[in-house]
Amino acid sequence: MSRRSTRRSPGTALILLSCALVPHAFLGGCSSTGIAIREQLGYAKREQLVARVEEARDSQTEAKQQFASALDEFMAITGVKGGELEGQYKKIRSAYQRSESKAEDVRSRIRSVERVAAALFKEWEGELGQFQSADLRESSRRQLEATRSKYDQLVGAMKAAEAKMDPVLRAFKDRELFLKHNLNAQAIASLEGQIGEMETDVQKLIAEMNQAISEADSFIAQMSDAPAAPPTGSSQAKLCSAFRPRPSRTQAPKLQHACGAGQAARSRREGRPPVAGGVAGPCRARGAPPDCGQDPLDPSVRHR
Cα–Cα distance, 257 to 146 (Å, whole number) = 35
- pLDDT value, residue 280: 40
Cα–Cα distance, 298 to 258 (Å, whole number) = 11
Q: How many residues does the chain have?
A: 304
Measured on CA atoms in the order 197, 213, 36, 145, is the torsion positive or negative? Answer: negative
State pTM to two decimals. Answer: 0.66
Mean pLDDT to the nearest integer, 57-62: 97
Residue type, 300: S
Mean pLDDT to the nearest integer, 41-58: 94
Percent of the chain residues past pLDDT 70, beyond the cut: 63
Cα–Cα distance, 191 to 168 (Å, whole number) = 15
Most confident of 179-188, 202-211, 236-245: 202-211
**In the predicted structure, residue 105 carries a pLDDT above the cut 60:** yes
Cα–Cα distance, 296 to 82 (Å, whole number) = 50
- pLDDT value, residue 84: 77
- pLDDT value, residue 85: 81
**In the predicted structure, residue 51 carries a pLDDT above the cut 70:** yes
Q: What is the CA radius of gyration of the chain?
A: 23
**In the predicted structure, residue 13 carries a pLDDT above the cut 50:** no
Cα–Cα distance, 110 to 56 (Å, whole number) = 6
Cα–Cα distance, 17 to 20 (Å, whole number) = 6
Cα–Cα distance, 210 to 137 (Å, whole number) = 36
Most confident of 69-83, 110-124, 171-185, 256-270: 110-124
- The 3 state secondary structure assigned to the chain is CCCCCCCCCHHHHHHHHHHHHCCHHHHHHHHHHHHHHHHHCCCCHHHHHHHHHHHHHHHHHHHHHHHHHHHHHHHHHHHCCHHHHHHHHHHHHHHHHHHHHHHHHHHHHHHHHHHHHHHHHHHHHHHHCCCCCHHHHHHHHHHHHHHHHHHHHHHHHHHHHHHHHHHHHHHHHHHHHHHHHCCCHHHHHHHHHHHHHHHHHHHHHHHHHHHHHHHHHHHHHHHHHCCCCCCCHHHHHHHHHCCCCCCCCCHHHHHHHHHCHHHHHHHHHCCCCCCCCHHHHHHHCCCCCCCCCCCCCCCCCCCC
